[in-house]
Structure 1
């Protein structure tokens, strides 16, 4: 079946999750982060994902904003940087994460080709709307779908069900794009054609399913969607 719908994960895929720590470190009040911000960004992201999985497994759901704050608290303490002012600034910056530079043109090319596009994310609706507005890409997206409507994080199948409901499409018509290897793998198992955006050149995760395509960034998504 031809691809008529392209669905993107948000954090790490469209939006650079390292941007908040990097940008804070460039601000005068937080210059002490010059050497530690990469570790803080890494630990923050790792714990954010780990906490989402654990909450999904245990059935103790909380929205992604709470999970993000709890992960940041751990990361700051682990790196000797626990400071309320820094925490507040990092959380503010996370609401306005920078999009990767190729994102607007890539989404514009999909729109020009008549391909529907949307976000499917662990993020809460408020978080996602803020990031999309900050990046100026709202007009290029048909739907912004949050796990909050089903109360469980990815990779639960209930989350992927949201795409068909919103777009009225079959799984085989969907190109699903994520920078998370586990997300791209789960989407492949669900029945989407999946793309792993492997910016770091990491090995493929050893999971029951594997992504169908691996790209270094998002630039090639419109051509790939057209070719399938």
Structure 2
């Protein structure tokens, strides 16, 4: 089946979530990698917990809260770098293959979009900074429904807006839990396993596993 729509998770899939700390590594100190890992883990954890609680706040607030917690966990990291790290998160580096892959999909007639936990302001800033604003057809943010992934309502935003059956959509994410949620919803899923992690959620397997977005066009 040739899929007519390709929808991408943003953070970790299109944009490198560790780029902010890497950009300011000298200021943060030698434990920057640990800080970045905790920052990301807590950012996600807070989104899941708040969805289960029914206590939504936008992803930017969670990003700030997660960074503050990471600093508490890594006292060797210099808190003076906090604002620089937050500013950098608005213009994260995209992975090198991303622009070419998205353009190639568009050239073949597919619709292309982002579907993310990120706030709309965050996503628009990141997309523009990476030069992807002229390639994407749409940006779907959980701001519109007040729920985070893996709530099925998040994935349904795209199918409702584009009037598609889930089976017509190829969904790409670097997050295995996100792939599980999208698979259960009915999307064809591609796990972009950039970090070479072991598989999990085996009862909701991806249709395909790739180490990057390279090769995606050939699989459509």
SS at match of 2:213: coil
- d(CA) in 2 for partners of 1:112 and 1:101? 19
Q: Is contact 1:182-1:207 (8 Å) kept? A: no
Q: Which residue of 1 aligns with 2:130?
A: 135
**1:29-68 superposed matches below 5 A:** 30=27, 32-33=28-29, 35-68=30-63
Could you say which residue in structure 1 is the equivalent of 2:187? 192
Q: Identify the residue that residue 153 of structure 2 maps to in structure 1.
A: 158
Match of 2:108 in 1: 113
* Correspondence 1:10 to 2:10: yes
Q: For residue 19 of structure 2, what is the aligned residue in structure 1? A: 19
The residue that corresponds to 1:147 in the other structure is: 142
2:80 equivalent in structure 1: 85
**Cα distance in 1, alignment partners of residues 114 and 151 from structure 2:** 16
Unaligned runs of 5+ in 2: none
Describe the SS at the equivalent of 1:140: coil
Q: Partners in 2 of 1:95 and 1:83 — Cα distance?
A: 20
| 1:72-131 deviation digits (Å, cap 9, x = unpaired) | 001111111565531111000001000000000000101111110000000000000000
Q: TM-score if structure 1 supplies the norm length?
A: 0.93
Deviations 1:49-80 (A, max 9, x none): 11100001111111000000000001111111
CA distance in 2, matches of 1:210, 1:65: 30
Give the Cα–Cα distance (whole angstroms) in 2 for the partners of residues 117 and 219 of structure 1. Answer: 16
| Partner SS state of residue 140, structure 2 | strand
Give 2:89's match in structure 1, choosing from 89, 94, 98. 94
Deviates further, 74-83 or 40-49: 74-83
Q: CA RMSD for the aligned pairs?
A: 1.3
Looking at structure 2, the residues matched to 65 and 50 of structure 1 have their Cα atoms a distance apart, in angstroms, of: 14
1:190-220: CA deviation from partner (whole Å, max 9, x where unpaired): 1000011001111111354121111000111
TM (norm. structure 2) is: 0.96
Distance 1:102 1:50 in 2: 28
Structure 1 unmatched ranges of 5 or more: none
- Secondary structure, in 3 states, of the residue corresponding to 1:56? helix
Structure 1 residue runs of 4 or more that deviate by more than 2 Å after TM superposition: 81-85
